[in-house]
Amino acid sequence: MTTRDVGLKLVGFMATFSVRFLGCKVSFVDAQLSRERLLGDGHEEREGAAEVAVVNTCCVTHEAVSKSRQAAARAARTHRRVYVTGCASNLDGAFEGLPENVHVVAQTGADAAATIAGDVGALACVQSEPRLGRTRAFVKIQDGCSFSCAFCVIPLVRGGTRSRRAEMILAEVRRRTAQGHREIVLTGVNLGCFRDREAGYTLPRLIREVGAIPGVERLRLSSIEVNHVTGELVSALEETETVSAHLHVPLQSGDDRLLGAMRRRYRVEQYLARVAPLVRFNLTTDVIVGFPGEDDAAFERTLEVVRAAGITKVHVFPYSPRPGTATAADDTVPEAVKRERSARLRSLSDELCRKRWQSRVGTIDRVLVDRPGRGYADDYTPWLLDAPVGELVLARALGLSEEGILAAAA
Ligand code: SF4
């Protein structure tokens, strides 16, 4: 059933609602848009049971779709109406067979938020400034992707790349800092494709200008393709004081044959050369394990490249074929092999992560406390300390625990 079939029609009444998201930062931002819109329209957010649930879904792997389905089914038991939005909502049949109160809004971002808001209705008296988290704000600068990686379903469900106007982005950042957000995270599906041709902006210029806005105390990029890690970008990152020392640059494989088969637009040598100048930065990445044709030698090369690049954390994605992609019919690596390789790569990631943490012991850094007892330093390492949530605290790293770096106010 779609939202066009039945309207909730709560116009003039306050609805209670909950919002959750699955997947990446773009999904988080999309979920936030629905949340802000409903808060702004005067509805009340609740934890647990409520009248309306928004589930912003993910379809990057087969497992992500299953989890999205489960989340929608769970929400259907405790909410009168469930809106399923985001990437997986654009996949045909992904939510078939769910209860009648689950409504698929085959849209993303502001479009989905507007559809839901229209369906739920607004109160006569709306909140001009909704209550929101005050620690970090994720600001979307771009959506969609015009690359065509062989394994990736994202261009099919989110469309080609398109950018927000720089003026709108800068205005949103000013609004976020006025609300008290200390950290801004620029977010997009393929961030480096951001362009505002009319106003003459590419990502490096945007970074410099966002980073200089009064009140922006820390600026991060959610993720960037290595093709976009150019000299100009590195200069903007290095020369903008507020830019944090963390960069997430997807590798996907350390084997040239597989990178070619994946239709990635770089090879290992280029990846290593592009990230080499980022010595000050804590480098994290994504890797797909068990891509069709990945043999032991190719996997070993991936482990070597992860070490050689100085990566400290790997998000491991066991390959699963996605409908409509170039490799939809290919899945040659046995599941047991994928599991074993994923475990080895995660174990390497843990080792490199701890090495990074160890290197921070004895140093002082500014920690943005984003939940009780925990926050992130400038390089996005987790520091454990007692300080008020929302504060940027100067702290000294004292030692390590399983969850992060033990620290105290300096
Ligand atoms: S760059 Fe490749 S992996 Fe990333 S969203 Fe675009 S097509 Fe997908």
Q: What is the pLDDT along the chain (410 residues), one digit of tens a residue?
A: 444 343 455 445 688 999 999 998 889 989 988 998 888 888 889 888 889 999 999 998 889 999 999 999 999 999 999 999 999 998 888 899 999 999 999 888 888 998 998 888 765 444 444 445 678 899 999 999 999 999 999 999 999 999 999 999 999 999 999 989 999 999 999 999 999 999 999 999 999 999 999 999 999 999 999 999 999 999 999 999 999 999 999 999 999 999 999 999 999 999 999 999 999 999 999 999 999 999 999 999 999 999 999 999 999 999 999 999 999 999 999 999 999 999 999 999 999 999 999 999 999 999 999 999 999 999 999 999 999 999 999 999 999 999 999 999 99
Is 126 among the domain residues? no
How many angstroms is it from 263 CA to the middle of ligand 1? 10
Q: In 3-state terms, the chain is what percent helix, strand and coil (to 5)?
A: 35, 25, 40
Q: 84 near 106, Cβ under 8 Å?
A: no
How many angstroms is it from 242 CA to the middle of ligand 1? 28
| Whether residues 137 and 240 fall in one domain | yes
What is the best residue among 147, 227, 253 to mutate for testing ligand 1's pocket, by most ligand atoms within 8 Å of CB?
147
Q: Hunting for tokens 């070993």 — which residue is that? A: 300
Is 100 among the domain residues? yes
CATH number at residue 284: 3.30.750.200
How many angstroms is it from 188 CA to the middle of ligand 1? 11
Q: 62 near 320, Cβ under 8 Å?
A: yes
401 by Cβ neighbours in 10 Å (0-12 / 13-18 / 19+) ranks as: exposed
Amino acid at residue number 133 = G
| Whether residues 113 and 29 fall in one domain | yes
| Whether residues 147 and 180 fall in one domain | yes
**Nearest atom (ligand 1) to Cα of 158:** 5
How many angstroms is it from 48 CA to the middle of ligand 1? 34
**Nearest atom (ligand 1) to Cα of 148:** 7
Is 141 among the domain residues? yes
Q: 342 near 289, Cβ under 8 Å?
A: yes
Q: Hunting for tokens 């239709």 — which residue is that? A: 263
| Whether residues 301 and 379 fall in one domain | no
How many CB atoms are closer than 10 A to CB 320? 17
Residue 57 sits at the vertex; the CA angle it makes with 53 and 61, to the nearest 5 degrees, is 155
Calculated CA dihedral for residues 83, 79, 70, 153, nearest 10 degrees: 10
Helix axes 203-211, 166-179, angle to 10 degrees: 30
Nearest CA-CA partner of 109 in 208, 212, 27, 17:
27
CATH number at residue 240: 3.30.750.210
Residue 203 structure tokens: 């990502």
Q: 302 near 288, Cβ under 8 Å?
A: no
Query: What residues contact 394, with CB distance under 8 A and at least 6 apart?
Result: 364, 365, 366, 367, 409, 410
| Whether residues 143 and 63 fall in one domain | no
Is 322 among the domain residues? yes
Is 125 among the domain residues? no
| Whether residues 146 and 235 fall in one domain | yes
Amino acid at residue number 112 = A
Q: Hunting for tokens 């087969």 — which residue is that? A: 62
How many angstroms is it from 148 CA to the middle of ligand 1? 6
Is 8 among the domain residues? no
How many angstroms is it from 58 CA to the middle of ligand 1? 14
Is 128 among the domain residues? no
| Whether residues 217 and 292 fall in one domain | no
Give me the pLDDT at residue 296, please.
98
**Nearest atom (ligand 1) to Cα of 263:** 2
Protein residue with least CA distance to atom 2, ligand 1: 149
| Whether residues 79 and 167 fall in one domain | no
CATH number at residue 106: 3.40.50.12160
Write down how long the chain is. Answer: 410
Residues in contact with ligand 1 by the CB-under-6-Å rule are 145, 147-149, 152, 154-155, 189-190, 225
Range of 375's domain? 361-409
Residue 103 structure tokens: 């409504």
Protein residue with least CA distance to atom 4, ligand 1: 190
What is the best residue among 58, 148, 154 to mutate for testing ligand 1's pocket, by most ligand atoms within 8 Å of CB?
154
| Whether residues 327 and 286 fall in one domain | yes
Q: 166 near 206, Cβ under 8 Å?
A: yes
How many angstroms is it from 91 CA to the middle of ligand 1? 17
What is the count of structural domains for the chain?
Answer: 4
Give me the pLDDT at residue 126, please.
45
CA distance 249 to 275: 8
| Whether residues 365 and 395 fall in one domain | yes
Q: What is the pTM of this model?
A: 0.87
**Nearest atom (ligand 1) to Cα of 153:** 8
125 by Cβ neighbours in 10 Å (0-12 / 13-18 / 19+) ranks as: exposed
| Whether residues 349 and 400 fall in one domain | no
Amino acid at residue number 189 = V
| Whether residues 337 and 374 fall in one domain | no
What is the best residue among 24, 157, 190 to mutate for testing ligand 1's pocket, by most ligand atoms within 8 Å of CB?
190
For residue 204, CA distances in Å to 116, 185, 240 come to: 35, 14, 10
Across the strands, what pairs with 83? 54, 103
Give me the pLDDT at residue 120, please.
87
Give me the pLDDT at residue 109, please.
85
Is 175 among the domain residues? yes
